[in-house]
Amino acid sequence: MDRQFATFFLGDARFGIDILMVREINRHLDITPVDRAPEFLRGLLNLRGQIVTVIDLGIRLGIGPRVIGRASACLVLKTSSDLAKHQEAGLLEDDTADDVIGLLIDRVGDMVSIDEREIEPAPANVGAVDGKYLSGVVKLDDGLMAALRAKEVLGLGAA
């Protein structure tokens, strides 16, 4: 079965996340910092009246903080309740959170369609990224794509 991934970059590293998990990609990055928040929590974003918690994905993955530039974007994830029907249908194993979360990324890539059989298990580390944050890696024509495991990135994985 083919799966669709939205790809994005942190520096030169390409990542992907199942398209079923993505609510939208937004370039409006007027992020308000939150006092005493964990370092990886970049702040809050008002998205058409809805508050989005923005995570600096670079810090969370151990790559380093992202510098907001012209190509930066916020990849807004669907909530757990939005994903329930996909999980019940067996189309998705990953999960997000009850609240709307956004991931700060350096730039948006392409949408790619990948046969599930081409997804290899994630190694212990991909570059500087701990393998626990990844559900697998895929060899594309122009390099590797590391598939993100959102529930780990959001700190929802089993302890």
Q: List the chain pLDDT tens, one digit each, 159 residues.
A: 789 999 999 999 999 999 999 999 999 899 999 999 999 999 999 999 999 999 999 999 999 999 999 999 999 999 999 999 989 898 888 889 999 999 999 999 999 999 999 999 887 777 678 888 999 999 998 889 999 999 999 986 543
pLDDT at 150: 92
Query: Nearest to residue 130, comparing CAs of 40, 39, 60, 61?
Result: 61
What DSSP element (H or E) covers 114? strand 107-115
Instruction: Report the C-alpha gap between 109 and 124 in whole angstroms.
Output: 24
pLDDT at 73: 97
Q: Kindly list the domain boundaries of the chain, sorted by start residue.
A: 2-153
pLDDT at 11: 92
Phi, psi for residue 50 in degrees, rounded to 5: -105, 135
CATH superfamily of 2-153: CheA-289, Domain 4 (2.40.50.180)
| Model confidence, pTM | 0.91
Token couple for 105 = 């990324």
pLDDT at 159: 39
pLDDT at 19: 96
pLDDT at 158: 47
Instruction: Report the C-alpha gap between 154 and 78 in whole angstroms.
Output: 13
The residue whose two tokens read 């999960």 is: 95
